[in-house]
A and B are shown apart, each in its own frame.
Chain A
């Protein structure tokens, strides 16, 4: 289940990028993009936008990357 954007799980998600052994290529690529985005712009606004992008991705792909969603968010 994808948490709502205000859920603290998203903060943990951003803090632990790279530590989730995800399997789907699209998840890896999306997470790498978020990592780069925050690396070059660590502002709160950038982080909120990253959460928004990741949320949209997971919502649109709930049925196809459910194992990775479970791995990340429990």
Chain B
């Protein structure tokens, strides 16, 4: 089944009782009937025909019929740390958070400290908007069960699976730590002024300018073998500040990523090596933009191109995928 559908086709799926994830323009999500669906705004997708920008259709992930138990909740900023307590016994949680919201900030700074957060797979993405509408429109999330939408709350679908199945979240990150300087930060944040370069204190904006860092290549930290990116948003040399799309954390050692080269080709190679058949995937709007993915395919992978990907924590420039496995 194709993943990019009209409102009518999606409405038919919802009315048939399917449990679905939906991504698309706010006006389209608002037009969907009540049912077992969770949604977030974004107009950028990887479709079966390649990278696609559309505000006329939505992208749909249909959960298999063996998924019988799915509960959707909206969490305010103060309630976010309760997400793990609501995990289903044998399930996973799918979360969508509006970009630029306090929930986005809080989740990305604190989620790894929440008790039990790693105990079940947690995946999802950060809802976004047409880049032309930045500053004019707020990204939103939708609870299809109640019809409620929000620009400030996180929407979570808690899904349970039959006893013989389990969910797994994984990532494909084509970026690896380069061989350059080791960079650390004294505090956590989406913004940095001071940093330590190989242990020596320095202004990070000045470092980025002096070293002529290509800011399309993220900072990469090694999380016990998982490469985790923090992508550059902007460098303000005058103010001495660097902004990121995900927070950097003290204690983690970052390096500027090596260039990827041909993203499409490298992605295809990685995909073939991993032999992935995901239920759901999302990838980063920055990969879409920097690798010029409009009209280009990333193997057989389809899904929204988002303002941040979630695999237990907020990621950047990374493909996140969910699979169902047999025990």
Interface residues of A (CB under 8 A from B): 17-18, 20-22, 24-33, 35-36, 39-40, 53, 56-57, 60-61, 63-64
Contact assessment for B224 and A31 in the assembled complex, using a CB-CB cutoff below 8 Å: yes
Chain B contact residue count (CB 8 A cutoff): 26
Residues of B within 8 A of A28 (CB): 223-226
Known: A25-B311, A39-B251, A63-B327. A32 touches B224 (CB 8 A): yes
Inter-chain CA distance A27–B223, complex, in Å, is 10
| Cβ A57 vs Cβ B119 within 8 A | yes
Question: What 0/1 pattern do residues 234 to 257 of B give for CB contact below 8 A with A?
Answer: 000000000000000111100000
In the complex, the chain A residue whose C-beta lies closest to that of B226 is A28
Check if A33 sits within 8 Å of B113, measured CB to CB. yes
25 A-B interface contacts by CB (under 8 A): A17-B224, A18-B224, A21-B225, A22-B225, A24-B168, A25-B168, A25-B170, A25-B171, A25-B311, A25-B312, A26-B169, A26-B312, A28-B223, A28-B224, A28-B225, A29-B223, A29-B224, A29-B312, A30-B118, A32-B226, A36-B112, A36-B251, A60-B120, A63-B166, A64-B327
In the complex, what residues of B have CB within 8 A of residue A35's CB? Answer: 224
Contacts of A32 in B (CB 8 A): 112, 223-224, 226
Per the bound structure, the CA–CA distance linking A57 and B84 in Å amounts to 12
Assuming the A-B contacts A18-B224, A25-B311, A40-B251, are A33 and B119 also in contact, with contact meaning beta carbons closer than 8 angstroms in the complex?
no
Instruction: Select from chain B the residue with minimum beta-carbon distance to A23.
Output: B225
Q: Are B224 and A22 in contact (CB under 8 A)?
A: yes
CA distance A11 to B273 in the complex (A): 36
